[in-house]
Chains A and B, each alone.
Chain A
């Protein structure tokens, strides 16, 4: 009986380690910044692209308040729209992208380079509401999706202005310095898209694009009823892949990036992972497109609303010490296994707490066993 009881935690520990060839996600929140930089009727597809990604990330679990949607939003009620108040990304018209609950944060003429950079860097006017801010921190994964008309080292914003790759690289570096992200997946669907992230130099940025320098990106198909192209190829095949992804899917970015066939795209999708710390086949798609993340149990209640400066600094320190504690946790891993039913979604600090409690339970068990024996 007793050896069995002792073995149980060990067995549980082994069983919990074995399948995790893919490491548990290390971020604690997911954010998405989705930008459609075009306006006007003939750019219908860019709005459809962005709305499609919006619905996908929402389905995979990123809540609306973590999605910043920038949209010219002039399609649904455009006078030329033969299906008023509806937007489609396929000519079968099965899915109305504008149907329910679309929360556009920056609409119409608000989609400017200025606002976009402010969202990224967090340098807002004090009057800007929280819902229009990217409130990420250094353990957030951010999906940055852009679509529109671009060229070598730039992308146009609504035919009025443009942002250059240097500006973008600078904004991302600012984000890095301010601790506004842990990792960024930067996706661009535009002509010569890969040039847009060529200047980025901040760590933790993974970038994917629809085309290389000198290449055009093409639309996927035309809706003869609405009379415009409704979606771009790169986004179409991304969505096709994401359709098979659920919140618990183990699909990796590696497998996503493999679906971009140059023959179907009519351009060469390209990627940049030299700044990214992890291997692509270890990163689940849901870590960026969904909200599958690490949940941390804080030792104390959230102090943000009390405004007590000392407690806030405590919290910051405790996060800074996360790493040494992890080693400590490994030392007590054997005992920790006893409480492994709590492990799902357990984070760094939570693990430590669990470890200590497991140790206590283990010690108690041994003591209890000894006591029984002596009796």
Chain B
């Protein structure tokens, strides 16, 4: 022990010296290092679609496509018949709700499925300060629901459970088909018909080892609400007497067999089937996958890769992911794509020349632009933190689910397409049925670039890391370069604490205002007024005489340090928000300096090129967020409040980061700029 201690005492200076030397070197050349980091960060960010890897099925047990699909034209015909039956029933009925439930119950009964009806009410959108990020909405249904102050009938999900013949009943796969009785579209009717037809097929399947739970989700109050209500009840049974009252609900009012909420085993995976009418006259039917859950949580990548694999093997679909369509017209992006294409081609040739086995593949400009479009859309969805569909409800319970949306203009006459879709779903279900345990191998942290390409965290963390590294390096450089005047650190800490507290207050403010005022414009006005008034004293703090030109350095270095730490933590919660934050805050923070000193730098004959450029850029970069906020306030003031409400409701990380990271950082930069 003693010897070890001695060794330790001897060793550190050697080790420390090297590290210290390296640190000193970096800090000394901080400007150069940060420049390189920024450029490398931006370039690697642009390169993400090129660096994307092909999707693969990670879990052995899935065995996608190893079984012959049995869904046939006969089943499609049956689906069409059922869809027609639903439509005639609804058009002729006097009480569509009741008749439809009766019809659905009979159908499910005929399949030998356990079925029941689940009633729910939409959650009240109330701001509760404590509930943020651990949002626990209640969907309890009484006789009526209170929606926006009016009494409405509750939503009713129909649920059918097919028990696997040889299964042990421990696990289940959930199929969700949203429907809306009030305005049932032809596509919606076909979706219901196809689901029932699929269930019919599954009820005869001998290979089923997991129970299949079909949820016909009443999307009267949004699809998400219906699924979330059912999932919540599935996992967290209500036991109070009053709620039990609500569960006594049957199709005809007195049958006793479907009183109870029935369950199957633990849910392995969920698939939401949606059919929508495509816009335009193009008759190409396509299949779109939506996967983003709340706060950008993705399902296990195998969920997407299995679908992609089955589709690409059978070559029957045009599989797509949501993109940002306008991006495809950006010429500059296309040019960047061409550059990458040329470079990629050369690299592929070189690789081929040196390694005979290497596959010579490169990304074409078209692929690049499409990749950027999908990537940006995915990042945007992640950033908002709002799930892109009812699959998001599964993610809240750590279950894997995706929405498969069929976009078609002519489903009634497109027999082949429907049959193929049925076969795809059957294949995917059989594949998931092969699973032996929960999905556990594959990736959770990834961003899709195209249906068969993804960027994993190991790749996309690089540009972020490069951008983030600017903060500590610059903070350290600032600390060491300038001899702080006495009292300047105290003042800096005071300002930072004041601004941070103010931001926290700002974050909580909407929740309090929500309860005080009823109209959105009043709330917004009071909010802005209050925060403005509170901020004014902070800006008044600057009235102390600034002893030297470098008085702001401690403040800037504190801002940099804090922002760096905050963004680092944020990247673990919601990567897209953190990345957007880094892109926005890095230039702003690095260029921050008082207006007076930049003015002087601009006209001083001795000042270098960098400081001149900085002097020009600083005002623009610092004021940019302020201008953006002002523009939004001027143009979309009505929408802003509802956006804030939406962010709060979904517990979006964007809300937290906007108020606790972006806002204090930009205010501090403004503070430096204006003083």
Binding site for B on A (CB under 8 A): 40-42, 77-84, 222, 224-229
Please name all residues of chain A whose beta carbon is closer than 8 Å to the beta carbon of B67 when the two chains form the complex.
224-227
Per-residue interface assignment for chain B, residues 162 to 198, with 1 indicating a CB less than 8 Å from any chain A CB and 0 otherwise:
0011111000000000000000000000000000000
Please name all residues of chain B whose beta carbon is closer than 8 Å to the beta carbon of A226 when the two chains form the complex.
67
Q: Is B63 an interface residue (CB 8 A)?
A: yes
Please name all residues of chain A whose beta carbon is closer than 8 Å to the beta carbon of B430 when the two chains form the complex.
227
Q: List 17 A-B contacts (CB under 8 A).
A: A40-B436, A42-B61, A42-B63, A42-B434, A77-B166, A79-B165, A79-B209, A80-B433, A80-B434, A81-B166, A81-B206, A82-B205, A82-B207, A83-B206, A226-B67, A227-B63, A227-B430
Question: CA A299 – CA B448 in complex, angstroms?
Answer: 80
Partner of B434, one of A41, A222, A229: A41
Question: CA A197 – CA B1 in complex, angstroms?
Answer: 46
- With A41-B434, A42-B434 as known contacts, state yes or no: A79 contacts B164, CB within 8 Å: yes
The B contact surface, by secondary structure, is loop
- With A40-B436, A79-B167 as known contacts, state yes or no: A227 contacts B207, CB within 8 Å: yes
- With A40-B436, A42-B61 as known contacts, state yes or no: A80 contacts B68, CB within 8 Å: no
Q: Which residue of A lies closest to B168 (CB)?
A: A79
A81, B207: Cβ atoms under 8 Å?
yes
Please name all residues of chain B whose beta carbon is closer than 8 Å to the beta carbon of A229 when the two chains form the complex.
66
Residues B46-103 near A (CB distance < 8 A): 60-61, 63, 66-68
B66, A224: Cβ atoms under 8 Å?
yes
B209, A78: Cβ atoms under 8 Å?
yes
Q: Is B476 an interface residue (CB 8 A)?
A: no
Tally of contacts, chain A with chain B, CB under 8 A: 49
Interface magnitude class on chain B: 20 to 34
Please name all residues of chain B whose beta carbon is closer than 8 Å to the beta carbon of A40 when the two chains form the complex.
61, 436
Partner of B206, one of A42, A84, A224, A228: A84
Q: Is B208 an interface residue (CB 8 A)?
A: yes
Question: CA A41 – CA B209 in complex, angstroms?
Answer: 11
Please name all residues of chain A whose beta carbon is closer than 8 Å to the beta carbon of B167 when the two chains form the complex.
79
Q: Which residue of A lies closest to B63 (CB)?
A: A42
Question: CA A334 – CA B412 in complex, angstroms?
Answer: 94
Q: Which residue of A lies closest to B436 (CB)?
A: A40
B66, A227: Cβ atoms under 8 Å?
yes
A227, B434: Cβ atoms under 8 Å?
yes
Q: A41-B436, A225-B68, A227-B66 provided; 5 other pairs, C-beta below 8 A? A: A79-B167, A79-B209, A82-B206, A82-B207, A227-B434
Question: CA A229 – CA B207 in complex, angstroms?
Answer: 15
Please name all residues of chain B whose beta carbon is closer than 8 Å to the beta carbon of A83 when the two chains form the complex.
206
A228, B209: Cβ atoms under 8 Å?
no
A373 to chain B, nearest CB (A): 85
A290 to chain B, nearest CB (A): 35
Please name all residues of chain B whose beta carbon is closer than 8 Å to the beta carbon of A41 when the two chains form the complex.
61, 434, 436
Question: CA A42 – CA B431 in complex, angstroms?
Answer: 11
Binding site for A on B (CB under 8 A): 60-61, 63, 66-68, 164-168, 205-209, 430, 433-434, 436
- With A79-B167, A81-B207 as known contacts, state yes or no: A224 contacts B68, CB within 8 Å: yes
B172 to chain A, nearest CB (A): 13
Q: Which residue of B lies closest to A80 (CB)?
A: B209
B310 to chain A, nearest CB (A): 13
Which of A41, A80, A83, A225: most chain B Cβ within 10 A? A80
A77 to chain B, nearest CB (A): 8
B166, A228: Cβ atoms under 8 Å?
no
B207, A42: Cβ atoms under 8 Å?
no
B166, A84: Cβ atoms under 8 Å?
yes
Please name all residues of chain B whose beta carbon is closer than 8 Å to the beta carbon of A79 when the two chains form the complex.
164-168, 208-209
Please name all residues of chain A whose beta carbon is closer than 8 Å to the beta carbon of B436 when the two chains form the complex.
40-41
Which of A77, A79, A82, A228: most chain B Cβ within 10 A? A79
Please name all residues of chain A whose beta carbon is closer than 8 Å to the beta carbon of B63 when the two chains form the complex.
42, 227-228
5 closest A-B pairs by beta carbon, nearest first, are A227-B67, A79-B209, A224-B68, A79-B166, A82-B207
Question: CA A228 – CA B167 in complex, angstroms?
Answer: 18
Question: CA A224 – CA B430 in complex, angstroms?
Answer: 12
Question: CA A35 – CA B433 in complex, angstroms?
Answer: 27
Question: CA A42 – CA B207 in complex, angstroms?
Answer: 13
Please name all residues of chain B whose beta carbon is closer than 8 Å to the beta carbon of A78 when the two chains form the complex.
166, 209
Question: CA A222 – CA B207 in complex, angstroms?
Answer: 16
Please name all residues of chain B whose beta carbon is closer than 8 Å to the beta carbon of A225 when the two chains form the complex.
67-68
Please name all residues of chain B whose beta carbon is closer than 8 Å to the beta carbon of A42 when the two chains form the complex.
60-61, 63, 434
Q: Which residue of A lies closest to B430 (CB)?
A: A227
Question: CA A42 – CA B66 in complex, angstroms?
Answer: 10
Partner of B66, one of A77, A84, A222: A222
Please name all residues of chain A whose beta carbon is closer than 8 Å to the beta carbon of B168 when the two chains form the complex.
79
Please name all residues of chain A whose beta carbon is closer than 8 Å to the beta carbon of B433 when the two chains form the complex.
80
Please name all residues of chain B whose beta carbon is closer than 8 Å to the beta carbon of A224 when the two chains form the complex.
66-68
Please name all residues of chain B whose beta carbon is closer than 8 Å to the beta carbon of A77 when the two chains form the complex.
166
Please name all residues of chain B whose beta carbon is closer than 8 Å to the beta carbon of A84 when the two chains form the complex.
166, 206
Question: CA A224 – CA B63 in complex, angstroms?
Answer: 11
Question: CA A78 – CA B168 in complex, angstroms?
Answer: 10
Q: Which residue of B lies closest to A149 (CB)?
A: B60
A230 to chain B, nearest CB (A): 10
Question: CA A80 – CA B436 in complex, angstroms?
Answer: 10
Question: CA A252 – CA B166 in complex, angstroms?
Answer: 46
Question: CA A229 – CA B61 in complex, angstroms?
Answer: 12
B635 to chain A, nearest CB (A): 57
B144 to chain A, nearest CB (A): 44
Question: CA A227 – CA B164 in complex, angstroms?
Answer: 17
Question: CA A40 – CA B61 in complex, angstroms?
Answer: 8
Question: CA A83 – CA B206 in complex, angstroms?
Answer: 8
Please name all residues of chain A whose beta carbon is closer than 8 Å to the beta carbon of B205 when the two chains form the complex.
82
Please name all residues of chain A whose beta carbon is closer than 8 Å to the beta carbon of B209 when the two chains form the complex.
78-80
Please name all residues of chain A whose beta carbon is closer than 8 Å to the beta carbon of B434 when the two chains form the complex.
41-42, 80, 227
B207, A80: Cβ atoms under 8 Å?
yes
Q: Which residue of A lies closest to B210 (CB)?
A: A79
Q: Which residue of B lies closest to A44 (CB)?
A: B63
B424 to chain A, nearest CB (A): 15
Question: CA A40 – CA B63 in complex, angstroms?
Answer: 12
Question: CA A41 – CA B61 in complex, angstroms?
Answer: 7
Please name all residues of chain A whose beta carbon is closer than 8 Å to the beta carbon of B206 when the two chains form the complex.
81-84
Question: CA A81 – CA B66 in complex, angstroms?
Answer: 13
Which of B167, B205, B207: most chain A Cβ within 10 A? B207
Question: CA A228 – CA B64 in complex, angstroms?
Answer: 10
Question: CA A51 – CA B197 in complex, angstroms?
Answer: 39
Question: CA A65 – CA B60 in complex, angstroms?
Answer: 36
